[in-house]
Amino acid sequence: MNRDTSEYTPRYLELYESGELKQRLLRLEERMAECDLCPRKCGVNRLINDSGGYCHSGNAPIVAAVCEHLGEEPAISGDNGSGTVFFSNCNLRCAFCQNHQISQDYENQQKNQTDCQTLARQIVDLQNTKGVHNINFVSPSHFVPQMLRTLIEAIPMGLRVPVVYNTNAYDSLETLYELDGVVDIYLPDLKFANNEWARQISGCKDYVSHARAAIREMFRQVGRVRYNAEGIAERGLIVRHLILPDDLAGSKESLRWIADLSTEITVSLMAQYYPCHRALDMPPLARTISVAEYRTTINMLDILGIENGWLQEPDAKDYYIPDFQRNGHPFISY
C-alpha cells in the first residue's frame, strides 16, 4: 500500500483559485447546447432543459440521494463513510441494474431536480457533520457541468475533501480532459469485454473501446492509488469489475487488459451480482454466480500478477441492495 503521511490538498482548490475551474465549467456548459458530454453525443439542447436525449436529463441536476455511504471499498468508505451523491438517470440501460429505480425511471425522477447551490450545501454538510472522507459523485457522466458548478459553489463554503468520480466508464475523452486535476479518485466499473454482450445487456454497442480509452486516460491523470496514514485513498485509480454468470462480463479478458495497462492498478473484484429488474427475464442473467465462477475469476488475479485491491465475497450481495423508494437512507443495512 502506497501510504503518504504528508497532508493531501486536492488540486481542484488550485484550479478554483486560478479561475481555471470556472473556464472548464463554461466550456462544458457550452457543449450542452448540442450535448456531446458522453459518447452518445445526442446533440439535444440541454441548456433549455431539453430532456429528449438518451439520459432524459436537462440543465438542472437530478439527484436521488445525498448520504454517507459505508458500503464502498474500505479505502473509500473508511470509518466515516463516503459522501455520496446519487445522480439520477444514466447513459446505459443495464438489464441487471441495482439502481434501476433511479437510473431508468426517468419520469419519476423529475421530482428530484435540484440546483447546484443546494447540492453544494449538502456535500459540505456531509464533510463537516459526518466527517466523510470524500465526495463521491455516482453516475456523473451526463452531469459533469453540474458537478463542476457544485464544486465551485462548495469550495467557498469550505469543501476540502477529495472528489471521487464513480462511473460506468462509458465516458467521453473530451469530457475527461476537462476533469484533469478536478477529480482525485477515479472509480470506473469496467463492465464488459465484448460489445455484443454490452449491446444486449446494457444497450451499448460500442462500450468496450470507449470504456478502455476512458480508463486509460483516468490512469494517466491520477496514477496508482495513494493512501493516507489511515489507509484512506486520497488519489488514484480503482477499477471495479462485476462478475456475471456464464462470464458474460468477459472477466478474464477484462482483467488481462487491466494487467497489460499496469499491474499496479488497484482492482475491486465484485461478486454481488443478483438478478433483478429485466435480468429476471433473461435466462443467462437470471441466477447468481456460482462458487466455481467466483474462484476461476479470482485465480486470474494471481495468474496476471494483480496484487492491489479487494475481493468481495459472494454473500455480500444482500448488504448492497439499495432501495431508493424508502424514506431515509437507501441502503437497507444502515
- 213 contacts 170 by C-beta, under 8 angstroms: no
Q: Measure the CA–CA gap between 132 and 86, rounded to whole angstroms.
A: 15
Q: Is the dihedral of CA 130, 148, 261, 249 positive or negative?
A: positive
CA 291-297-298 angle, to 5 degrees, is 90
Of the candidates 188, 74, 66, the residue with the CA atom closest to the CA atom of residue 121: 66
Question: What sections of 155-205 are H helices per DSSP?
Answer: 173-178, 195-202
- Grid cell in block for residue 116: 447546484
The separation between the first and the last C-alpha atoms of the chain, rounded to the nearest angstrom, is: 29
Which pairing describes strands 233-242 and 226-227: parallel, antiparallel, or unpaired? antiparallel
Q: Is 94 annotated as a binding residue?
A: yes
- CA-to-CA distance for 221 and 59, rounded, in angstroms? 28
d(CA 226, CA 249): 28
Please say whether the dihedral angle defined by the alpha carbons of residues 107, 206, 189 and 59, taken in this order, is positive or negative. negative
DSSP letters, 83-131, are EEEEE---S---TT-TTHHHHS-HHHHGGGB--HHHHHHHHHHIIIII-
| 38 is an annotated ligand-binding site residue | no
90 marked as part of a ligand binding site = yes
Nearest to 330 by CA among 75, 82, 86: 86
In single-letter form, the type of residue at position 226 comes to R
Which residues does the annotation place in the binding site for [4Fe-4S] cluster? 90, 94, 97
Which residues does the annotation place in the binding site? 90, 94, 97
